[in-house]
């Protein structure tokens, strides 16, 4: 049986935090170990240009995110792991698909609509600050997916619409030029935890409430100590289901450890003690990856080598496929 192709992109903005780890990186690495899948995971550096014009930050984030995935055990023999901008066929396909994309479809994209709404609320012109990059970003994402004929695309809820747009665009291309593209499906994992941040809201860079993944030990402990709790005293029974400390615990614990901590909460464990144990648990899982991360960050040429090898493997698919696509749309040698 043909292996299912699973593909997902990671936008290279910011430094990975515990929420990214629990919600995306850990499940993606686990999924890549299944025998019946061929995974394509890539650093979506072209996407990051939409949100930020900080060239230094883009470079730094690409290095940090690549090192993070490698340090956490991503097996680059198994997974095709590459940097989007190393695969020029993706940008070429973006143009072909742009010509297959209804403008009205892009008008309906959530990210674009949210930007227009923010402008309206601020009393600005609808188009204020909106680039064509933001507007047509779902086309670039469609090219990412269709270039490798991915069957399944694991994403967060906010990205489902984009995968559906990729299907629409693929259908139109197939209608005009023949059946070249597989129609991809979004997969949203209902089981992975959405981690809470220091203030109890969803952990997110935009809320400034994150715990970076590979903080030095002392810093990790400090961050965990800053998780917001209520004023209940030691000895008072506490409700685990209303506690961020418990919620983070649950994301790292075995089922047995989870039950044990529920009992401790009922028995009135002190917040300081609960946080101390939380630090021990999280740190035990991250200690070795953190060492590997630091070693990789000190050796960027090793990261670069792995990314280039990944790009070569990706291009073993994209190069011949692009030849086929070019011919199908009529971009052909005149003597052929």
- Neighbouring CB atoms inside 10 A of 86's CB total 17
Cβ proximity to ligand TRP: between 43 and 325 the closer is 43
243: CB partners within 8 A, 6+ apart = 229, 265
Least separation in angstroms between residue 30's CB and ligand TRP is 17
Least separation in angstroms between residue 45's CB and ligand TRP is 10
Q: Which residues bind ligand TRP (CB under 6 A)?
A: 7-9, 11, 44, 47, 141, 144-145, 153, 155, 159
Cβ proximity to ligand TRP: between 47 and 238 the closer is 47
Residue 271 CA to residue 96 CA, distance in Å, equals 57
Least separation in angstroms between residue 153's CB and ligand TRP is 5
Least separation in angstroms between residue 207's CB and ligand TRP is 17
Cβ proximity to ligand TRP: between 202 and 262 the closer is 202
Cβ proximity to ligand TRP: between 52 and 225 the closer is 52
Strand partners, 5: 38
Least separation in angstroms between residue 189's CB and ligand TRP is 13
Query: What is the chain's percent helix, strand, coil content, to nearest 5?
Result: 60, 10, 30
Q: What is the largest CA-CA distance in the chain?
A: 85
Cβ proximity to ligand TRP: between 8 and 85 the closer is 8
Residue 74 CA to residue 68 CA, distance in Å, equals 9
Q: Which residue is nearest to ligand TRP (CB)?
A: 9
Helix (H) or strand (E) holding 293: helix 271-297
Cβ proximity to ligand TRP: between 84 and 243 the closer is 84
Measured over the CA atoms of residue 167, residue 168, residue 171 and residue 172, the dihedral's sign is negative
Cβ proximity to ligand TRP: between 143 and 296 the closer is 143
Residue 215 CA to residue 218 CA, distance in Å, equals 8
**Burial (CB count within 10 angstroms: exposed 0-12, middle 13-18, buried 19+), residue 287:** exposed
The b/e string for 133-147 (b: 16+ C-beta within 10 A; e otherwise) is eebbbbbbbbbbbbb
Least separation in angstroms between residue 111's CB and ligand TRP is 9
Cβ proximity to ligand TRP: between 40 and 271 the closer is 40
Least separation in angstroms between residue 318's CB and ligand TRP is 14
Strand partners, 81: 41
Least separation in angstroms between residue 225's CB and ligand TRP is 31
**Burial (CB count within 10 angstroms: exposed 0-12, middle 13-18, buried 19+), residue 170:** buried
First vs last Cα of the chain: how many Å apart?
A: 35
């Amino acid at each position: 049986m043909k292996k299912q192709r699973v593909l997902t992109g990671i936008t290279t903005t910011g430094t990975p935090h515990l929420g990214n780890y629990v919600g995306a990186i850990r499940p993606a690495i686990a999924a890549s170990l299944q025998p019946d899948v061929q995974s394509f995971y890539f650093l979506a550096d072209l996407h990051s240009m939409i949100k930020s014009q900080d060239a230094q930050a883009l470079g730094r984030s690409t290095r940090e995110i690549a090192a993070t995935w490698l340090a956490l055990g991503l097996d680059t023999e198994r997974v095709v792991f590459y940097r989007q901008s190393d695969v020029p066929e993706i940008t070429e396909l973006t143009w072909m698909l742009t010509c297959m994309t209804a403008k009205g479809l892009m008008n309906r994209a959530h990210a674009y609509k949210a930007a227009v709404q923010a402008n309206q609320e601020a009393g600005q012109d609808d188009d204020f600050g909106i680039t064509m990059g933001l507007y047509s970003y779902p086309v670039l994402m469609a090219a990412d997916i269709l270039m490798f004929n991915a069957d399944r695309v694991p994403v967060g809820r906010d990205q489902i619409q984009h995968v559906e747009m990729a299907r629409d665009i693929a259908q139109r291309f197939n209608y005009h030029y023949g059946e070249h593209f597989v129609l991809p499906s979004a997969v949203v994992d209902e089981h992975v935890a959405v981690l809470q941040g220091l203030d109890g809201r969803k952990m997110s860079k935009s809320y400034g409430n994150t715990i970076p993944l590979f903080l030095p030990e002392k810093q990790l402990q400090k961050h965990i100590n800053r998780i917001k709790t209520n004023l209940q005293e030691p000895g008072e029974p506490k409700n685990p289901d209303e506690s961020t400390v418990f919620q983070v615990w649950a994301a790292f614990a075995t089922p047995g450890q989870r039950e044990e901590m529920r009992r401790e909460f009922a028995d009135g464990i002190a917040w300081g003690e609960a946080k101390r144990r939380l630090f021990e648990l999280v740190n035990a899982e991250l200690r070795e990856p953190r060492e590997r991360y630091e070693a990789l960050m000190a050796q960027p040429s090793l990261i670069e080598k792995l990314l280039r090898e990944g790009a070569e493997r990706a291009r073993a698919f994209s190069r011949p496929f692009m030849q086929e696509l070019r011919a199908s749309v009529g971009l052909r040698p005149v003597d052929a």
